[in-house]
């Protein structure tokens, strides 16, 4: 067998890896266009963000509230209690809300560039509340110069609705009392104030002072001045002789609670005399007690519209002066009806009403009351007797309820 020789094995040399195919011009252009579009969009967005003026949305709790931007009105809140302010320039801005039934409110806001609206919450607070005044009954109340009513005849209370928060001028006035005027601050809530009024004791008072131990009585005239609760004046007593002037003494004092008062003066010997008294509800009469280091007694007086003069001196032994003596009721004197004509030559008969009037002026109240009953028995429709009886009974009530001890 012929052997065939093996063919030599040849090895191919390794070729380097082939490079990828180059991008086509078309693809490159598409990429460039896309990048340019994105860059343009970003630039436009940045410009819009840089120069945009946002919208302010004001939200509150009332409709119809006027919205001010930097002091300029820009609209009012709608039924949803909102108001939109478009195109607000960036920077520090002041938003203010105004409504007739609410207090004005404002708030500074920092406005920045942006496309989203900026919400501002500004709740309004109520501006009107009820002011309750408590003082004496039947007092006329004026608020800021306008009369708003009169206090209740029983409780002395007056509720004034819809008083705006802030400062107000309040004045109170009633006949027989010193007027009061004051400045009140109304808070953001219902408010209650109490104002005690002082009786007006300015003027002239005439009365009688009696010493308890001896029963000696002396008339006096008191010229009284008043500033709030402070009293001062001049006490006069009859002169020792008709040709001489009255004896005068300066007097000072205080008006206390529950219509009480204290006075102090010195006598001719320089001793201090303290007076304590109770003023009637009408402010026309007063009754009380007095004392010094050795003596004590009673005193009473009634107001006079003009300065009175000293009359005839009291009879010997002094006037019938209970302890303490109630003053006569103020008012015009009652005129008794004309007496029936008596027989010719006989002394005129004095009617029971005339006797009652004379006894009343002498402060003999029990006897005067009996004469009034006799007059009413004769004529049940005698209004003059009925009115006089009422005044006597009121004096007796004062007599039975003397003022208690008063602390100076």
Each residue's pLDDT tens digit, 43-71: 665 555 555 678 889 999 999 999 999 99
Do 300 and 247 fall into the same domain?
yes
Do 166 and 117 fall into the same domain?
no
Do 366 and 311 fall into the same domain?
no
**Residue the block writes with tokens 């005690």:** 196
CATH code of residue 141? 2.60.40.10
State the average pLDDT over residues 195-199. 90
Query: Among 194, 219, 236, where does a domain finish?
Result: 194
How many angstroms separate the CA atoms of 324 and 320, rounded? 11
Do 181 and 138 fall into the same domain?
yes
Do 210 and 319 fall into the same domain?
yes
How many angstroms separate the CA atoms of 291 and 211, rounded? 9
> Measuring CA to CA, which residue among 137, 140, 139 is closest to residue 154?
137
4 assigned to some structural domain: no
Under DSSP, the state recorded for 71 is T
Do 204 and 297 fall into the same domain?
yes
14 assigned to some structural domain: no
pLDDT higher than threshold 80 for residue 216: yes
pLDDT of residue 43: 65
Q: Residue 190: which domain range? A: 128-194
Do 135 and 231 fall into the same domain?
no
5 assigned to some structural domain: no
Do 223 and 270 fall into the same domain?
yes
pLDDT of residue 25: 73
Query: Among 126, 142, 162, where does a domain finish?
Result: 126
Rounded to the nearest integer, the mean pLDDT of the chain is 80
Do 56 and 139 fall into the same domain?
no
Do 230 and 290 fall into the same domain?
yes
CA dihedral over 311, 313, 317, 323, signed as positive or negative: positive
Structure tokens at 110: 């920092």
13 assigned to some structural domain: no
216 assigned to some structural domain: yes
Sheet holding 180-186, edge to edge: 146-150, 140-143, 166-173, 180-186
74 assigned to some structural domain: yes
22 assigned to some structural domain: no
Structure tokens at 354: 């005339």
pLDDT digits (tens, 9 = 90+) for 99-151: 999 999 999 998 887 778 888 999 999 999 999 999 999 999 999 999 999 99
Sequence-distant (6+) residues with CB within 8 A of 1 are: none
State the average pLDDT over residues 172-195. 93
How many angstroms separate the CA atoms of 96 and 58, rounded? 10
Task: From residue 24, give the alpha-carbon distance in Å to each of 17, 28, 307, 404.
Answer: 21, 7, 128, 123
How many angstroms separate the CA atoms of 42 and 26, rounded? 25
pLDDT of residue 327: 40
CATH code of residue 307? 2.40.128.120
pLDDT of residue 313: 43
Do 207 and 316 fall into the same domain?
yes
Task: From residue 339, give the alpha-carbon distance in Å to each of 265, 361, 385.
Answer: 48, 20, 14
Domain count, the chain: 4
Query: Among 126, 151, 175, where does a domain finish?
Result: 126
Do 309 and 242 fall into the same domain?
yes
pLDDT of residue 338: 41
pLDDT band at 406 (very low <50, low <70, confident <90, very high): very low
23 assigned to some structural domain: no
pLDDT higher than threshold 70 for residue 335: no
State the average pLDDT over residues 198-206. 90
pLDDT of residue 343: 43
pLDDT band at 13 (very low <50, low <70, confident <90, very high): low
pLDDT digits (tens, 9 = 90+) for 74-89: 899 999 999 998 888 8
Partnered with residue 107 across adjacent β-strands are 95
């Amino acid at each position: 067998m012929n052997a065939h020789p093996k063919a030599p094995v040849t090895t191919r040399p390794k070729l380097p890896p082939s490079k990828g195919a180059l991008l086509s011009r078309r693809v490159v252009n598409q990429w460039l266009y896309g990048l340019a579009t994105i860059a343009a969009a970003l630039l436009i967005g940045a410009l819009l963000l840089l120069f945009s003026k946002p919208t302010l949305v004001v939200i509150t709790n009332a409709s119809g509230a006027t919205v001010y931007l930097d002091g300029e009105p820009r609209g009012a809140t709608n039924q949803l209690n909102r108001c939109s302010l478009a195109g607000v320039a960036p920077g520090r801005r002041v938003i203010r809300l105004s409504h007739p039934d609410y207090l004005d409110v404002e708030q500074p806001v920092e406005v920045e560039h942006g496309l989203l609206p900026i919400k501002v919450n500004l709740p309004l607070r109520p501006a009107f509340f009820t002011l309750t005044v408590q003082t004496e009954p039947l007092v006329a109340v004026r608020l800021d110069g306008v009369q708003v009513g009169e206090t209740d005849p029983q409780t002395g209370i007056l509720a004034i609705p819809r008083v705006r928060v802030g400062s107000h001028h309040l004045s109170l006035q009633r006949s027989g009392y010193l007027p009061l005027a004051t400045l009140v601050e109304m808070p953001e809530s219902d408010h209650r104030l109490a104002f005690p009024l002082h009786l007006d004791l300015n003027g002239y008072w005439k009365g009688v002072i009696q010493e308890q131990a001896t029963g000696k009585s002396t008339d006096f005239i008191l010229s009284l001045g008043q500033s709030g609760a402070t009293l001062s004046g001049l006490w006069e007593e009859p002169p020792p002789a008709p040709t001489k002037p009255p004896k005068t003494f300066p007097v000072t004092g205080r008006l206390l609670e529950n219509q009480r008062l204290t006075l102090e003066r010195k006598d001719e010997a320089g001793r201090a005399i303290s007076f304590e008294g109770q003023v009637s509800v009408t402010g026309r009469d007063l009754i009380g007690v007095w004392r010094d280091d050795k003596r004590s007694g009673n005193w009473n007086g009634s107001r006079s519209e003009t300065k009175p003069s000293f009359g005839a001196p009291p009879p010997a032994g002094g006037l019938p002066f209970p302890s303490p003596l109630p003053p006569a009721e103020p008012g015009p004197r009652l005129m008794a009806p004309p007496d029936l004509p008596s027989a010719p030559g006989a002394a005129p008969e004095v009617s029971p009403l005339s006797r009652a009037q004379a006894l009343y002026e002498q402060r003999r109240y029990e006897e005067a009351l009996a004469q009034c009953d006799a007059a009413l028995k004769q004529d049940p429709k005698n209004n003059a007797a009925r009115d006089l009886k009422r005044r006597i009974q009121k004096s007796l009530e004062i007599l039975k309820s003397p003022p208690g001890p008063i602390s100076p």
